[in-house]
Every structure is written in structure tokens, then in C-alpha cells.
Chain A
Amino acid sequence: MGGSQAAGAPLPGAWFRGWLLPSLLLAPQLAVIAVFFLWPTLRALRDAFYQGDAFGLSEEFVGLRHFAHTLSSAEYGHALLLTLAYALLTSVLALAGGFALAVAVEGLRSGRTLFRTLFLWPYALAPAISAALWVFLFRPQVGLGAGLLEHAGVHWNPALQTGQAQALVLATTVWQLLAYNFLFYGAALQSLPPSLLEAAALDGARGWRRVRDVIWPLLAPTTLFLVVTDLTFVLFDTFGLIDVLTQGGPDHATETLVYKLYEDAFRNFDQGAAAVQSLLLMLLVTGLGVLQLRLQRRRVPA
């Protein structure tokens, strides 16, 4: 951040000596990481291979039994497929929408600041609060959106209709994620030379071609970054949104991996299954992280 022309690191000798002070400076953060990051990770690793009795008095080593049980269960397969479809669909829609909005706004000759604010604000909302607004908007017989659908002849009842519940979760998530994609595409566009931005200001087929052939390829690094961030958000940060909108229902139709883990851990008190599912989630998010690192490394030739 800032002063990117300055040297990347202090010159040799431009630092302080001693180890006690830097250790003290690092200690608080390392302590938090040890207690609330390393320890829980190790604990999940261990619990995945053990089975406790009903009273929590004794435990026995059960090998891969929890893994086999989870991976072969139809419910877990269902939640996995549902989560992947949900994450992919939401990310694609939010990426496309965020890009289109950012190009349109940054191509304006004036009034850009106002429009940035008008599309950015949902970024600050908690997914659970977004969901509360949408619950009201699509409450049968009460909400504005529900009224429009009922007027159009739809028997709107997301509490019972699985497809409707899924559509509601999808729409709310895209609405929330759009602002995030708009923010990053906008920031990337602002760092391009202004002459290129004029391509986005052209209308009609000519402008569209220039956006496609010039702007879109230039923003490829931003797109790669956003694909991974969007997927991560949808996979892991939508618990509150789903909990407020549908509680994973009806009939598990909106039960994502994280929601299922919550149910198994805190409703069914199945410690082994919860530990295994935690590990699988960790693997998934690590995979996404490695993917992101690789993509970023390719973009910056070292």
C-alpha cells in the first residue's frame, strides 16, 4: 500500500538488533493463533478418528469409520452437490453483474461517486440482516415481492416449496455479493489508464466489443481473485443468511455443508461426524486457498 516506488525492504543494517523485544511484540498474535487456531485444528484431526461414549467418559479409536460413514451418507452427498451448485451459480451471476455495473459506472463522465455509493452499500450489511430484509420482502401475503409473484399467479410459499426456497436463498446471496464484485471491479477499473476507460463509455456494438476485447482481458487478475473469494463466501459465510431465510429447509433443500455441520454438531450432538465434516471443510478451503495462490503467482512474473 502506498509508496510502491520505494525499496521493497530496508537496506541491510536498517533494522534493530535483539530478539526479546520482537518476540514480545509477536507474542499476543501467536498466542491467539496457538489457542484458537492450531489447537482446534489438531483437536478436529484427533476427534475424527475417535468415538466417545454417551456420557463422554471414555473414547475408543475407530480409524476411518467416521469418514466412511460421512462420505457414504446420501445426506452428505446431497449437501455437497447442493453447495457446489449454489456456489457456482451465485458466483457467476454476481461476477457478471458486478462487472457490467462497474464498467457502466466507471465509464460515466460525471456522477461516478454517487453511483459507486448507490451500488456499494449492500457490502456493509451482515448476510443475516440482508436475509431479514428479504424475509419481509418475500413473506407470503405481506411482502412486496411475494405480492407481485402472487399477482402473477405463482403459488408462493417458500416455507413448503423447495424450489422457491432455493430461489430465494440464491437471489438474496447474489444481491449481497453483487456489491462486493462491483467494489473490486470498480477499484481495478480506476487503476487503469483513463484512455482505456473511454472504451467503456462507448455505446452499442462498438463499445461492447471494446469492453470484451480490451477491458475484460485486462481485468483477468481481478476476475481470478473474485472467483475464489466469491466461492469462499458462498461456501462458508452464508450460514447466517440461510439460518434467517430458511433454516436449511424445507426438507433439507437449502442445507449447505456448513449448515449440515452445524445441525450435526449442535442439534444431533454427533461429535465424530462433526469433526470429520470440519476436516473436510478445511480441506476444501485449503484447496481454494492454494488455487488462489497459484493463480496470483502466475499473474505476477517473479
Chain B
Amino acid sequence: MKRQWLRRSALLLQALLLALPLYAALIAASHAPGDLLGRLPWLPGNRLLANLRTVLGAGLPGSPSVLRMLGNSLVMALGIALGKLMLATLSAYAVVYFRFPLRRTAFVLILSSLMLPLEVRFYPTFQVSAGLHLLNSYGVLIVPLIASATATFLLRQFFASMPPSLLDAARMDGAGPLQFFLHSALPLARTPLAALFVLEFVYGWNQYLWPLLTTTDARYATVVMGMQGLINAGTSFALPRWDLVMTTALLALLPPLLVLLLAQRWFIRGLTDIEK
């Protein structure tokens, strides 16, 4: 239908407009710094690989190694995502498959942590972490962030929706709570766990304020929190190095973007299920 094509062209135009910041970054990352003075070139240049080699090798003059910052970001994102999933799975399993005193209290306590995200209590949490001498470590980048009300809640819903006959059958085979967890509950929770992993990996990789406060030692800097320093370092020269700054920005946005795009299909399906 003609109307459909009209609509599609309008949408495409909007999508291109939306992608303009990314396109400009790609242009900058693929040119020599001199080419970026005056009007920005319309098409990407051929220096992307050279710029990548510079950024990942020598890095930007006067700032920590980008390769190291990327590695730190990966450690932080993986640590937070896996930590959150592990803690949340164990808690949800305990709450659904056991009856014990204070079960509800524990669950409500976990859920209540949702009410006050780290962004509003960063200052006292920083003070407590400093008091415990945790600053400048991988531990402080990860551990304070691995409690997860959202993941616990969603996994509890999932476990509670599994048919009770499953447990009866397992019991008849003589399975104890740990065997049932490892051989039945955990494998069945694969899909929600994978969807939650995407969510939490993006969350962990994109942290800015917390690493900024807790890592003054450049050895623990992450690439997202280091972005402002990189911009300052890149623009402090007579000839601003936007080529290197934007190459770093592209490297910093690629991992969470890839994780999201690879998982997009069932990530949306998972959200649709949560919405119901």
C-alpha cells in the first residue's frame, strides 16, 4: 500500500535523525584531527583502524589507558550482573520453596531496597564504604550494587508460577532441595535469567557516579566514568583530538549495545510477559 511506504519513509527519516549523534561520532573517529576543523566531513574517512590502534595502544596523552578502563568496565558489569542474578536466584528460591519464620519479613526487606536506589543514597553509602576501607578496589565497584529487588521479585514470580507437580515428581525421585534447585528450578529459569542478565549488564556497564566517587586510583577507573576526563584531555591540545575522543566513546558504547541487540528479540518478549 502506498500509505505504508509513506509512513515507512517518514519513520526512516526520524530514525536517521535520531542516529545523527552516533553518525557524527563515527565521522570523527574515522578521520585525522585536522579534517575535523571547520565543517565536518559528510562521509566516514579511512582512519578508524588507525585511531582504534592509537586509542587502545598509546591511549590519549595524559589520561589512563583506555584498554585498562574497558577491562575494568567489563569486570564491573559482569560482576554486577552475575552477582545480582546469583543473589536474586538464591533468595527467590528460598522464599518460594521453603516455609520458615520471618520469610515474609526477609522478602519485604529485599523489596524495600527498591525504594531507595543508590543514586539517592550515594553519599552515606560512600561514607560507609570509605569507613570499611573498601575504596579503590574491584569489590567496591561491585558488591554495594549487587542487591536486586527487581530480579528477586521477577524470579519469585517465575518460581511461583511453576507447576507444583514438578516438585512432587522430583520428591518422588528422592530429590532434596539442592538437587531440585540445580536440576529442575535453575534450568527452567534460563530464559528469565538471560533477560535479566541483559538488563543488569547494561546497568553495571553504564554506572557513572559510583565509580567516580569510589575510585580515585586511575587503575580502577571505568571507561564510562572516565569519559569526562578523556574529553578534557582530548580538547586540551591546540589541535583538539576529537578523533580519539569519539573513538573511545564508540568503544565505550559498543559492549552494552551489542548485548542488547543480540538479545533484543526475547528481551522484548520478556518485558511483554512482565507487563501482563
Which A residues fall within an 8 A CB radius of B? Answer: 1-4, 6-11, 14-19, 21-23, 25-26, 28-30, 32-33, 35-37, 39-41, 43-44, 47, 101, 104-105, 107-109, 111, 113, 115-137, 139, 142-145, 147, 175, 178, 183-184, 186-188, 190-191, 201, 203, 222, 232, 236-237, 239-240, 243-244, 258, 261-262, 265-266, 274-275, 277-278, 281-282, 284-286, 289
Contact = CB atoms under 8 A, between A and B. Distances in A.
Nearest to A3: B161
A285 B178 CA distance: 38
Contacts of A186: 268
B177 A16 contact: yes
A137 B114 contact: no
A129 B191 contact: no
Nearest to A207: B3
Contact of A175 (B18, B101, B152, B261): B18
Contact of A21 (B4, B168, B177, B206): B177
A8 B20 CA distance: 47
B77 to A, nearest CB: 11
A281 B120 contact: yes
A2 B93 contact: no
Given A4-B276, A10-B160, A244-B228, A285 B205 contact: no
B131 to A, nearest CB: 9
5 contacts: A4-B276, A7-B161, A15-B98, A108-B7, A184-B275
B106 interface: yes
A187 B270 CA distance: 9
Interface in B6-50: 6-8, 10-12, 14-15, 18-22, 24-25, 28, 36-37, 39-40
Contacts of A36: 125, 128-129, 143-144, 147
Contacts of B53: none
A67 to B, nearest CB: 16
Closest 7 pairs (CB-CB, A-B)? A240-B208, A126-B206, A40-B124, A22-B94, A19-B100, A25-B94, A22-B98
Contact of B163 (A6, A118, A183, A237): A6
B273 interface: yes
A118 B124 contact: no
Contacts of A175: 18, 21
A285 B119 CA distance: 10
B158 A2 contact: yes
Nearest to A126: B206
Given A136-B28, A147-B40, A188-B275, A129 B249 contact: yes
B272 A16 contact: no
A136 B242 contact: yes
Contacts of B119: 236-237, 239, 258
A286 B120 CA distance: 10
**Binding site of A, secondary structure by majority: helix, strand, loop or mixed?**
helix
B186 interface: no
B15 A119 contact: yes
A43 B143 contact: no
Contact of B256 (A125, A128, A237): A125
Interface string B112-129: 011111011111110111
A24 B91 CA distance: 9
B114 A289 contact: yes
A147 to B, nearest CB: 7
B268 A25 contact: no
**Which residue of A126, A188, A274, A286 has the most chain B CB atoms within 10 A of its CB atom?**
A126
A18 B127 contact: no
A278 B124 contact: yes
B8 A111 contact: yes
A30 B95 CA distance: 13
B10 to A, nearest CB: 8
Contacts of B208: 126-128, 239-240, 243
A127 B206 contact: yes
Interface string B99-112: 11101001001100
A22 B144 contact: no
Contacts of A130: 21
Contacts of A122: 18
Contacts of A201: 4
Nearest to B87: A29
Interface in B185-239: 191-192, 202, 205-209, 212-213, 224-225, 227-228, 231
B120 A32 contact: no
